[in-house]
Structure 1
């Protein structure tokens, strides 16, 4: 494998059999999906003896549980260390770019972590990307946009990457216009389809203006790209907090790439200002760092009860005068 080859080329002190591998998987995955991941790892050269599967929300909570107070951002004055005291329930909002996993866990008196509730939805950062896509469609039209995507993939990806950078930087209190470089080929294709220049078609808009090949967009439009995703997440959180097992949970732990955006952070803090919102310094790396810690101490997670049990033998109640006496067994 690549990592083992790289390590071997750098040092002779570490042998492949001394390396344990931790693969993170979504908590909502079925046993079949987890088994597929395990077999894929085996085929890739990782034996079961050196393989550990870690659930992503559990890995994130392990990382945040060990954080120092001054390395977190909280919405209240409570200590982060106290927030993870024994008996405490907390909700993990693992907001990724694709999906959002919401898990509620509890710290047991022995320090182990117990999972109480879990749900997954497609309310991640992809919704923001879709909103931007719809914005561009309104400007250039479906025909131009399809032509641009299909014939100029590199330029299209460049536009998506630039939007990703701007998306991470926008804040609820931003007042400056957001500047995006629009690929020249997109303007040319628009002219070829519509017969007019892209700049002329948008010059009447008060929310946009052109400076060379750059489109400057009103910050309120940019903020609105987040509204659907943030609204969906808070809506589902509201229903989760009404669950009997979750109703007394007053801590929200935000992790995942989408949790790095100031817009989502502000939406959660505003909707749940009476709860303690904890955000690690690098929310997008919380699962990765927690997985490393889990690899050193897998027993920190409370043992789970299997969804299914399998019997290997049976015994029935003895019937007097019917069943042979020599087959009778007396329980201790």
Structure 2
């Protein structure tokens, strides 16, 4: 049955559109949607193929491939399905999309799986195609085929806060290749979560209030801090650089498996075979991981040890067919992971100059009671809150972002951006190996210099543009120029382009038309008077919610969009 508000939606209203948020997660993914003509209703998909009667706001980021590359199961269909000979269960492939994060790559190499011969981008494309197909079917069922067919869709796909510009572009391209058409934007996960928390209505913000969002998911944890600049209508700005780490709930599984192997080592394959381990880990995932910490007086925890015919084994913790754990044992599973999260929070609190008023915990792991208690104990002066529907906060926030754009008005740059250039020689700044004399002007110059136009940590307004000016002096007119845009992830970027911290962001290619070639100016060399040509080209880089956008300016006028080819 359709929502009562949906019954009255008009097929003739062509101004409206669907807004869809996709939280493409490392371990679980979710989808939310809204109709722009009914902005008060945000739906979250809770019914998934293979889930039977079970509803869930998220579905496993899993695909089972057959040996010939065909897909036999995904999401809930693949979660508990044993892998057969010749099959590959693809998981954790999202982390392989960002090759700039060395810690991600180490973990991804250990745990990510994909079919031999397929790239992570191809697997991500397959997964997003499956997600989008299910979404479209759901929208048709919810709103009716008539309204669906005449209504465009705007998509907002979320990514971790610390992902590189290249990884964001790769994710966007994977979505396009998956058949996602129309408007498509990338949104950072903690920003989407912050928007959802700020719109929850249970907390009244005042101008100047500062809060931190900790999005603790299955694989990654992302954090950003914000300041409310206008409470009504809500506007806010970043006050810290987004940070994150690989310390999500899945790492609890690793610690719990270590504990299982210690307790049951003498029984070997009887309880530690692949099937038994999977069953124990599933019980941990569905019960202990979720509920631990809610009752601080509970000292003993148990899960069923299937196939157990042992009455009692105090050393192993076996009793009446159950495996018993003490509170200290479970604490030892949680603490190594939570300690890393608290370290990330500490960095945010310190960088905000101790001005954080509220910490919002969102994401699947963000709902855990022990995590909340540990953080509240560390920061007794800060209100630590777990919003209702914390697991779907990111995907709902992505939809709100789409419905009410420009909620976040300013962001802090996560890296510095610039270009390699030649500069006027200065013996106090430059090294001797940089010295040369310009053949056109006769002036002393220095090569291998960096010109940084946007620096790490600087605040930029939403939609703000920064120009990269290039002035070319050539003997013959050229119709094509290739620009290398560079970046650095260290706090104080270096002066020289050859420094080890300077990496290539990508190339921007400019092809000049015959009319644009008329903009060359004729000059005469001061050294011997021969003619040469000068052309000034600006590359404008615009900062949005995530992806960088580029334009070409000739003679101060926009000459078209520029496409960056990422390294």
- Asked whether the two chains share a fold, i.e. TM above 0.5, the reply is yes
Counterpart of 1:247 in structure 2 is 354
**Counterparts of 2:400 and 2:361 in 1: how far apart (Å)?**
18
User: Contact 2:209–2:357 at 8 Å: present in 1 too?
Assistant: no
Task: Verify the 8 A CA contact 1:111 1:300 in the aligned structure 2.
Answer: yes
Aligned equivalent of 2:401: 294
Match of 1:203 in 2: 314
Per-residue deviation, residues 174-227 of structure 1 (Å, max 9, x unmatched): 42532211132xx5xxxxxxxxx8666x3346xx3411x222333342233222
1:40 equivalent in alignment to 2:174:
yes
Give the structure with the higher percent strand: 2
Could you give the per-residue CA deviations for residues 94-142 of structure 1, whole angstroms, max 9, x where no partner exists? 1112221121122234843322222111222233222211111112229
Segments of 5+ residues of structure 1 without an aligned counterpart are 70-79, 188-196
Equivalent residue for 1:181? 304
Instruction: Tell me the secondary structure at the aligned position of residue 299 of structure 1.
Output: coil
Indicate the residue corresponding to 2:372 in structure 1: 265
Which one of the candidate residues 6, 9, 14 is aligned to 2:148?
A: 14
Matched, 1:162 2:283: yes
How far is 1:232 from its partner? 2.4
Which residue of 241, 254, 278 corresponds with 2:385?
278
- Which digits, 9 at most, give the CA deviation of each residue in 1:291-318, with x for residues without a partner? 11111122222255885466465389xx
Distance verdict in 2 for CA 1:95–1:6, change over 3 Å: closer
C-alpha distance in structure 2 between counterparts of 1:23 and 1:161, whole Å: 29
Q: 2:222 aligns with which of 95, 101, 125?
A: 101
Match of 2:324 among 211, 216, 219: 216
Q: Going by fraction, where is helix more abundant, 1 or 2? A: 1
The alignment status of 1:23 with 2:157, answered yes or no, reads yes
SS in structure 2 of the partner of residue 124 of structure 1? coil
Partner of residue 81 from structure 1, selected from 196, 200, 204: 204
Count how many residue pairs are aligned between Structure 1 and Structure 2: 296
Greater mean deviation of Cα atoms: 33-42 or 126-135: 126-135
The TM-score, its normalising length taken from structure 2, stands at: 0.46
Q: Is the Cα–Cα contact under 8 Å of residues 97 and 126 in structure 1 kept in the other structure?
A: yes
What 5-or-longer segments of structure 2 have no aligned partner?
1-132, 418-465, 474-522, 535-555, 557-567
Contact conserved, 1:91 with 1:102, CA < 8 A, in 2?
Answer: yes
Higher mean C-alpha deviation, range 222-231 or range 301-310: 301-310
TM-score by structure 1 length?
Answer: 0.76
Change (3 A) 1:148 1:22: same
Larger CA deviation: 30-39 vs 234-243: 234-243
Higher deviation after alignment, 273-282 or 29-38: 273-282
